[in-house]
Amino acid sequence: MVRDDVLNVFRECGALLEGHFLLTSGLHSPRYLQCALVMQDPRVCGELCAQLADKLHDVEADTVIGPAMGGIVLAYELARALGVRGIFMERDKDGLMTLRRGFSLKPGSKVIVAEDVMTTGGSVAEVVAATEEAGATVAAVACLVDRGGLKRFDGKRTASLLQVEAPTYAADDCPLCREGIPLVKPGSRNRPGA
């Protein structure tokens, strides 16, 4: 798939939203990509993850891990396409990304860290750090949609299907707020910057 094909998939699924959105990072943006609407169709999700797997065909990995919530389905489908194990990290009671539910990483494991949409890369950076603290090696960082967050991982192998340039604004310097456009929080977390 080429960029326009992937973007059309998001449009057809109603996943490319326009307005005034509060992102998980706490930033505001006039555009939001709701990957959950794309992921709800197993055929479409599998097709997109197969395309992403093609970009990672030469990466040696035994596990794909994603941050909860957005990275769970993506990690599973990407792992299926690559023929490896798919797991996820979630926040503990202190808000730290950790392996739970019996998941573990063996020292020396080679891991691809995957997320649906990456804006600042904050959650993925936490998963990368926790993965490395467990003694595993991060072989690559991947996402379906890169809103600029992959640049945070310079020096690591990265891959995305779609790069979307959409402006982001700090809450105290947001032109959409000044225009009085209602703020919508479509993401999975309830607190900005969390």
Q: What is the pLDDT of residues 66-115, one digit of tens each?
A: 998 888 999 999 999 999 999 999 999 998 898 899 899 999 999 999 99
pTM: predicted TM-score of the whole model, two decimal places? 0.83
Separation between Cα atoms, residue 2 and residue 68, nearest integer Å: 28
Using alpha carbons, select from 124, 193, 116, 187 the residue that is nearest to residue 152: 124
126-164 tens-digit pLDDT: 999 999 999 999 999 999 989 888 999 988 999 999 888
Tell me how far apart the alpha carbons of residues 79 and 64 are, in angstroms, rounded to a whole number.
6
CB 126 within 8 A of CB 97: yes
Tell how far CA 99 is from the center of its chain. Answer: 17
Q: What is the pLDDT of residues 111-132, one digit of tens each?
A: 999 999 888 888 999 999 999 9
Q: How many residues does the chain have?
A: 194
Tokens representing 36 are 């959950």
> Degrees (nearest 5) of the Cα angle 31, 28, 49?
50
Walk me through the domains of the chain, giving residue ranges and CATH numbers. 3-178 (3.40.50.2020)
